[in-house]
Chains A and B, each alone.
Chain A
C-alpha cells in the first residue's frame, strides 16, 4: 500500500470515525458517571429516604411494638391525632418554646457578638466560655440546672428565701416550667449562635467601616443600623432558621427535668412521639406525630433554601 492511498483512505474514513468514537466515549463517560454516583445515591436512599418512607408507611398502620398482627388503618391515626387534645397541647407547648428560644438566643447572641468582637486580646477567651454549654452534654447540664433551680434545695431558691422573697417553682409551677426550660435552651444555644455571628462580623471588610467613618456614619447606632445589621442579614437569617430547627427538636431537657409535667405544661411534640412510641408502644400513632414534626422541619428548611437561593449574596 503506498502513501497516497493510505492518506486518502484515512481522510474518507475520518468523519464517521470521529463521530462514532465520540459517541462511544460519551456513553462510557455517562456510565462511569452513574457508577461513581451510585454509592452516594444508595447511601442517601438507605439512610434518609428509606426511613422516612417507613415512617410514612407505619403511620398508616395500627402496628404496636412487638405485635404479631397489624393492619392498615388508612388515615385513622391522623383523625385521632386531630381530635387529640394532648397533641394540640404539645404543639402549643413546642411553639411557645420556639417563640421564646429563637428570639432570645439569636438576639442575645447578636448583642454578645457585637461586644465580644470589639475585644482584642480576650476575644478567644469569651468565645470559649460561651461555647462551653454547646460542647457539654445537655442531659448532664440539665442535672446541674435541676439542682440549681430545685424548688426546695436549689441555691437560687435558697437565695430568694434569704432575701425575703417567695420560693419560685421553676419546674413545678405549670406557668413557669416551660419558660424555665426555654431559658436553659437559650443558655445552651447562645454559644453556637455567637460563633456564627462572630464569623459574620469578621467577614465584613474593615474598609467599609473606614468609608463609613468618612461619610459620617461613625455613631454607634448609625453604624449598627446602616452597616453592621444589614450586612449581617444573611447570617441572621441562617442563625434564625438553624435555631428554629434546633428549638423544635427540644426533648432532652423535657425528658430529664419535667417529663412533660407539671400537668402537661411542658409536654412537647417530640416528647409525645417518644411516649407514644417507646412507653405505650403505639408505633403507628408515634409515626404520625413524627411526620408532623418532620413537616415542620421540612418547611423551615424550605424557607432557608429559598432564601439563600434567591437572596443576592453581597
Chain B
C-alpha cells in the first residue's frame, strides 16, 4: 500500500507581521478524509497552500508520504488541488484542461512544443495514451460529452467536475480541496457532497477538505480539525466535536442554531448556578468564580409557564418568536436577570409544543445538566459532572 500520510509539524506562517498560522501540528493518515473547518480568515487556505507548496511556511515542516517536501516545488509534491474558483484554464477546452497535468508530466519540452512537438519521436504515442486516460476520467465524472467545450460554456457544477477531473487524472497521493462546493447552489452542493465522499471511497487516497460550512464538515468525514485564529483547536470525530467541545469557540462554531452561552457562577464548593438558580452540577477542582455555560438548543426543555415549576429548578423566560421547521420547532426566548438581557434558542419536536406559541407569553426553561458544557472566562473547557437525576426528568 502506498504511503500517503500527510504530517505537519509546528507550521508557523506570518504575512508581514500578522501571524496567520501559529504552530500547527496535524497528522493525517493514509487514505483518510479529513475536514478542516473554521470561520473565514482563520488560515485554512494558507495551510492548504503550504501543503501544496504554493506558499512557503516560515518555520516547521511538511511531510507527504513520509518524506519531507519542504524543498520540493508544487508539481513535485504529488498532490492535486481543487480551488474554490475552480481555476480552470479559460482558453482551453475541457479535454485540454484535464490533459494539462499529464502533458507536463510525461512529455519532454520538445515533445510538448506547440505544433512542432508532434514530430518529436514518441510524442504521438504518449498523446494517444493521455487521451485515453482523459476520456476514462471524463466518463467517471460524466463529463465525456463536454470534452470539447470551453469552461465559459459550462455550468458551475460541470466546472466543478472538470476541476476534479484535472486533479484526478494524475492519480496524486493526496487531494487538497479548498471550499470546492461553496460556489454551487444548495441542492447541487448536497449532491456533490455525496459524490465526493464516494469518490474518496473509490480512490482510497488522502483527502484534505477545507470548508467554512460546519454542516459539510459534520457530514463528510470521520475526522474534523476545527481551526480558529491560525490554530487547530480540536481534532476529533464529528461526534466528539459536537458533544465534547474542548473550547468555547468550537462549541459556538459547530451546531445550528448555535449553542446558547449563559453566565454561570461557581461557589466555593464547586456548585454551579445559573441566573441565581442552583444547578445540579459540580465543577471539578477549579477556582473559577464566573464561568460560561454552553447548552445546545436541543438540550433545553421548554414548557408553558407554571409558578410551581420555578420551585423545581425551572427558569422563567418570555417567548419572542417561534420558528416552525416542519419536523421541529425553534423557540427564541428572552431571559432577563440581574446582570442583563439574554436570548436563548430552544429546539424541540412538534409533540412538545403543548400550547406554546403566543409571543410574549411566559415559559419555563429546564436545563439538562448532563448535557451542558462549562467553560472558563477565557474559553477553556472545565471538567465537571452532573449530580443525581436531571431537572428535566424531574419536571416531566
Contact = CB atoms under 8 A, between A and B. Distances in A.
A106 to B, nearest CB: 19
B77 to A, nearest CB: 8
Contact of A215 (B49, B91, B100, B152): B100
B75 A314 contact: no
A233 interface: yes
B166 interface: yes
Contacts of B100: 212, 215-217, 226
A233 B91 CA distance: 9
Contacts of B75: 213-216, 218
Interface stretch (A88-96, A130-138, A203-211, A260-268): A203-211
A48 B340 CA distance: 73
Given A207-B85, A314-B152, A214 B79 contact: yes
Contact of A222 (B49, B73, B104): B104
Contact of A210 (B87, B152, B153): B87
Interface string B57-80: 000000000000000011100011
B118 to A, nearest CB: 16
Interface in A215-231: 215-218, 222, 225-227, 230-231
Chain A, interface size category, equals 20 to 34
Contacts of B188: none
A214 B114 contact: no
B152 A312 contact: yes
A312 B173 CA distance: 36
Nearest to B77: A214
Contacts of B101: 214-216
B152 A216 contact: no
Interface in B80-119: 80-81, 83, 85, 87-91, 100-101, 104-105, 114
Contact of B83 (A210, A231, A312): A210
A231 B53 CA distance: 24
B20 interface: no
Nearest to A219: B109
B89 A208 contact: yes
Contacts of B49: 210
Contacts of A312: 150, 152-153
A218 to B, nearest CB: 6
Given A207-B83, A207-B85, A216 B104 contact: yes
B52 interface: yes
Contacts of A216: 75, 100-101, 104-105
A231 B87 contact: no
B215 interface: no
B190 interface: no
Max count, chain B CB within 10 A of own CB: residue among A210, A227, A231: A210
B91 A314 contact: yes
Contact of A205 (B52, B74, B85, B150): B85
Contact of A213 (B74, B150, B152): B74
A218 B91 contact: no
A51 B39 CA distance: 63
A206 to B, nearest CB: 9
Nearest to A213: B74
B387 interface: no
Max count, chain B CB within 10 A of own CB: residue among A213, A214, A231, A313: A214
Interface string A220-256: 0010011100110100000000000000000000000
A214 B81 contact: yes
Contacts of A207: 83, 85, 87
A268 B373 CA distance: 87
A227 B100 CA distance: 11
Contacts of A213: 53-54, 73-75
Given A205-B87, A233-B91, A214 B152 contact: no
Contacts of B81: 210-211, 214
Contacts of A230: 91
Max count, chain B CB within 10 A of own CB: residue among A211, A213, A216, A222: A211
Given A215-B166, A230-B91, 7 more contacts: A205-B87, A207-B83, A210-B49, A210-B52, A215-B100, A222-B104, A314-B91
Interface of A: 205, 207-208, 210-218, 222, 225-227, 230-231, 233, 312-314
Which 6 A-B residue pairs are closest in the complex by CB-CB distance? Answer: A216-B104, A314-B90, A207-B87, A211-B87, A216-B75, A215-B101
13 contacts: A205-B85, A207-B85, A208-B87, A210-B54, A211-B87, A211-B166, A212-B89, A213-B75, A216-B104, A216-B105, A217-B100, A227-B89, A314-B151
